[in-house]
Amino acid sequence: MTETATEQLTGKSLLQKIKSSNLPKRELAKECGYYSVSKGGEVRVNIADFYDALLAAKGIALEPKSEKDARGREATYRVTVHQNGQIVIGSSYTELMGLKPGDEFEIKLGHKHIRLIQIDENKNGVEQSDEK
């Protein structure tokens, strides 16, 4: 089991530390707190975490967290018809759309496409103009 030795720098403090240092990247990551020490005393530099923090400090998001489900898989916007003929829309998509249990949809079939239209309860079954 490993333990983090010091608090990791983030945001502006991380950027300031990087600008004021001429150390190699591994030493710089260690100086900024991105390392762990095992029970045996072995020091491991966490370069990936250091780079992630650096990107976040610069305002660069490589992958929005909301597009992953609880198991860490990314939403692909592609599904397969199951053997029983059903198609499952995962919770990642329903969360992104802000859907809740009990929300209702009208199904409209087109040539090689299916359109789901959310029914707005306030309009008594009239479709919303805002498609999701």
The pLDDT tens digits of the residues spanning 80-111 come to 889 999 988 878 788 878 888 888 888 899 88
Token pair in block for residue 28: 């710089």
Q: Tell me the pLDDT band of 129, cut-offs 50, 70 and 90.
A: very low
Classified as helix, coil or strand, 14 is helix
Q: Domains of the chain, with CATH numbers?
A: 2-57 (no CATH), 75-123 (2.10.260)
- Strand blocks (E) in 1-132: 2-4, 35-38, 43-45, 105-110, 113-118
pTM: 0.45
